[in-house]
Structure 1
Amino acid sequence: MADGILDQFSRLTTFLGLALGPDYEVALHDLTDKHCSIIAIANSHVSGRTVGAPLTNVALQILKDGSYRHSDYLVHYPGLSREGKPLRSSTFFLKEEGELVGMLCINFDDSRYRAVSQAVLQLCQAAGLEGPEEAPASQIPERFHNSIQGVAREAVAQALAGLGREAGQLTPEQRQQLVSALEPQGIFLLKGAVKEVAQALGCSQATVYRYLSQARREEEL
């Protein structure tokens, strides 16, 4: 049944890409394969991904926390392309009997429209009116990669930035803290993520598995 639903949405992906235009990327994820989950994509230049790309950090978080069970979609959250361009992202959850089987995602590059609005605001400011302040970011942006390595390495880099340390400076306790921070993000749902995290931290896979086991024991308390 899931194949039938995904086949229908695959055709919808192409249609929406054409109907909405080149500033809108439309991507269809098959949740039966988290490692190569994109099975259809339109206007892929927006994020730089291709068919076969893995789930994003936000998608993994949704799978991990089960938030899809209480909603049918997530709209207008921040994204960030591989080139660092801000995107506005939305995701529709495809479910069968309450279980998530796919995601239809739209990533909007509004940079052209921002440029126009900024030009208008500059005219207003020249007339003595102040433009609105940017709202502070309240959510970690969705980041897009074509490989599991990219997803895992990005997650480690963000965690290291939060600790204010480089990988070689971490104590065993700090490595445990970092792995414990990664576990709720769903990074380890990806096959091969342990290997990538171990390489990024400069330790063995066995060490990461030990930290991961400890993190999961603490979750259960």
Structure 2
Amino acid sequence: MDDLMLKHYSILVEFLGKTLGPDYEIALHDIKDPTNSIVAIANSHVSGRTIGAPMTNLGLNVMSDKSYLDTDYRLNYNGISKEQRILRCSTLFIKDENNELVGMLCINFDDKRYVDISNQILKLCHPDKLIEQNSRHSSINSLLQDAETFSDSIVETTASVLNKVLNENNIPIDRLTQEERLKIVDILNQKGIFMLKGAVSEVAKQLHCSEPSIYRYLNKLNKDKSDD
């Protein structure tokens, strides 16, 4: 984003944060540096992030697959806070005159206070066990694989995306074959994780191999794609 656009949207972040209230986090991402993408944030206690936090897994996916070309925003999807609370998230794709992505304005709503109040009311006429069985917050484990996650460092972001890849593909990290490492690096690359500075080093640590090995895998994948 240019300076004028950054100033405009930063004011909007502050305005929305004060207007919507403390249960709504407003975060502005500049995609020029995905490693330190948050340039303005209001009510940061919702996700626990600060200015300079990296792009989320969903943001990296959008940058990688260019899905922003077909839509201007994404509404009402699930996010998971560091405290393992379900957030309702929406993202506006900020584009330039050529329809290319330059930033993202994200609104993350934490309804915990309202759920607590509604549960207290329901407990006046229903057994506690029934409330627990029907609370959507009790089903958080079923949402973890598809939800957006919020990290304040490259280590957290890389670990979060990598753990999802391993779980989805049922790959044990303690005894990986070379083919499995290549597959993991391919998936991570498609998800945009290597847009983050330092991601190669973190992935190498997680996969118990060297950084040159990760670069070799990436070179092989790029060569195979060019041959196709």
How high is the TM-score relative to the length of structure 1? 0.89
Q: Residues 219 and 22 from structure 1, CA distance in 2 versus in 1: closer, same or farther, beyond 3 angstroms?
A: farther
Whole-angstrom distance in 2 between the partners of 1:124 and 1:184 = 50
Residue aligning to 1:99: 100
Q: Which residue identity lines up with residue 22 of structure 1 in the other structure? A: P
Q: Which has the higher helix share?
A: 2
* 1:49-88 equivalences in 2 (<5 Å): 49-88=49-88
| TM-fit CA distance, 1:125 | 5.2
**Taking every aligned residue pair, what percent have the same amino acid on both sides?**
47
Residue-by-residue CA offset, 1:189-213 (whole Å, 9 max, x unaligned): 1121111100111101111112223
Residue 172 of structure 1 pairs with residue 173 of structure 2? no
Shift of 1:83: 1.9
Please report how far the alpha carbon of residue 103 of structure 1 lies from its aligned counterpart in structure 2 after TM superposition: 0.7
After TM superposition, give the deviation of residue 115 of structure 1 in Å.
Answer: 2.5
Q: Determine if contact 1:91/1:106 at 8 Å carries over to the other structure.
A: yes
Provide the TM-score with structure 2 as the length reference. Answer: 0.86
Contact 2:145 2:164 survives alignment (8 Å) = no
Instruction: Give the RMSD, CA atoms, in angstroms.
Output: 2.4
Q: Are the aligned partners of 2:158 and 2:203 in contact in 1 as well (CA < 8 Å)? A: yes
Matched with 2:21 is: 21
Q: Report the number of matched residues.
A: 219
CA displacement, residues 156-202 of structure 1 (integer Å, 9 cap, x when unaligned): 22222234344221111111121122111110111211111001111
Pick aligned residue for 1:162 from 154, 157, 168: 168
Q: CA deviation at 1:218?
A: 4.6
- Comparing 187-196 with 117-126, greater Cα deviation is found at 117-126
Q: Is the 8 A contact 2:27 2:42 kept in 1?
A: yes
Q: How far did residue 101 of structure 1 move?
A: 1.1
Worse overlay, 151-160 or 162-171: 162-171
Give the counterpart letter for 2:22 in structure 1. P
Unmatched tracts of structure 2, length 5 or more? none
**Equivalent residue, structure 2, for 1:149:** 155
